[in-house]
Amino acid sequence: MGENMKQLISATLSKEAAEIYNDWEKQKKSAILSELIVKENVNRLQIDALQKQRSATQLIISQCMIHLLVTEGKSPLVERMNNSLEGTIHFQYW
């Protein structure tokens, strides 16, 4: 085992995952699995950050839309902003 490697004690895989794992070259299984875990963790962190960013953006759009609605009335821009929020808690049912 390489200097940067830690021993994996055990893992339970789905049938499909086990078949894929068993098709890998024996000498490269640990390296491939390590790479996949690191990449997937990066993917999960990116997804989490994007979801938070999307929520923050929706809140800003909602606040701007309400400001425009109050100051200038219902306009095509306000309606487009509201339509972009459909399916969120910020959508206005008017």
Counting Cβ atoms within 10 Å, is residue 43 exposed (0-12), middle (13-18) or buried (19+)?
Answer: exposed
Report the C-alpha gap between 31 and 53 in whole angstroms.
33
Residues 18-52 pLDDT 10s = 999 999 999 999 899 999 999 999 999 999 999 99
State the chain's mean pLDDT as an integer: 92
Tell me the residue type at 76.
P
Q: How far apart are CA 10 and CA 64, in angstroms?
A: 52
Q: Give me the pLDDT at residue 1, please.
A: 55
